[in-house]
Each structure stands twice: as structure tokens, then as C-alpha cells.
Amino acid sequence: MPPCQIASIALLNRIPYYHVNLMPYFSDNGIINVAADARILASIVDAGYGLLQGADEVTVFGSVKEEVTTLPEEERLIQYCQPSSWVVGTSSLQILPINQNRLQTTLVNRHSSAKIYLNYGTIAEVGKGICLMPNGGSYEINKTNPYKGVISAVSDTANATLSGIECM
């Protein structure tokens, strides 16, 4: 059976939190290899209400440490940032154009119940791409996760607010 995504985890090292797909971390022996000194173990057990079905979700909260590195002197520093806000609906919306000068972008889902899906490209689709969970789900593009192209968004609900900042 080919691998399929069965889990993601909210990492609380930033506020608002963001989601990371756990599929690449699963091993054959039922554990999740997150780092050399960290593991997450989960077991779904029928507690009298049945096992997970359909749209059921399990949320695992945890924390991570980020390695802080020094910025090389020749590295280009952020000079300015442009804050933005978009109303995202059920039709794809291009939120950011190609920007070869982009150094950092942070996008935050401000809606209380809608999921917003991001795509690197001109058309975003509900249920595909990068999912920003309600109430502050976020995604960041930066020097270790660079992307200079078009970014589009779509929501599973009309009138979801997405805020962000793009830095050059």
C-alpha cells in the first residue's frame, strides 16, 4: 500500500502555531522520528465511541527548539516590509505576485472556523496545498524556506480573512 498522509502536528514554537505534515517522520515500528533526541508516539484506541472516521481530527500539541545561526555578513538583510490583508473565498485568489526580492513572508489565517489553503502558483484548491488552520494557523517563507513565485489562496468558507507581511 503506498504511503498516504494520515497526520499533521501543530508546533507551538511560534504564535500563532503552524502545521507540519508528519508523514515523512513515520517509521515502520509505529513511532515518529522527529529528531535524534525526540519522539512522538500516538495510538488510536476505541474508548467506547468507535475509531476515527470521516472528518474526525486528532490534534497533538508539542514544542520544538529551533537552531539559531548567525547571519553571514554578506547576506542581504530585510530593508522594509509590506503588510497586507485579503478576504479569501471559495474561489482561488492570487495574493502575492512573483517577487525576486522577497526575503520573508508570513501569512496568518484570522478566521475563527475556516481553513485557508495556499498554493505556490496561480490557482489554489480547497483541500490541497498548504493548509492554514482557523484562529491563527500560519505559514512562513524565509531564507531557509525560500520561494519567490506567485502565491494563491482559497478557503473552504466565504469571507475568510488572511493577513500577512512580505519583506524585501
Number of other residues whose CB lies within 10 A of the CB of residue 22: 17
Where in the chain are the domains? Answer: 8-62, 81-167
pLDDT (mean) for 63-91: 79
- Its pTM surpasses 0.85: no
Number of H helices, E strands in the chain: 0, 13
CB 101 within 8 A of CB 168: yes
Q: Domain 81-167: which topology?
A: Jelly Rolls (2.60.120)
Q: Dig out the grid coordinates for 113 from the structure.
A: 472556523
81 burial (CB, 10 Å; 0-12 / 13-18 / 19+) is middle
> Comparing 6-10, 91-95, 141-145, which segment has the lowest mean pLDDT?
6-10
- Mean pLDDT is highest, among 10-19, 61-70, 142-151, for 142-151
pLDDT (mean) for 24-46: 61
Taking the C-alpha atoms of residue 40 and residue 31, their distance in angstroms, rounded to an integer, is 6
CB 161 within 8 A of CB 116: no
Across all residues in the chain, what is the average pLDDT? 79
In the predicted structure, residue 75 carries a pLDDT above the cut 80? no
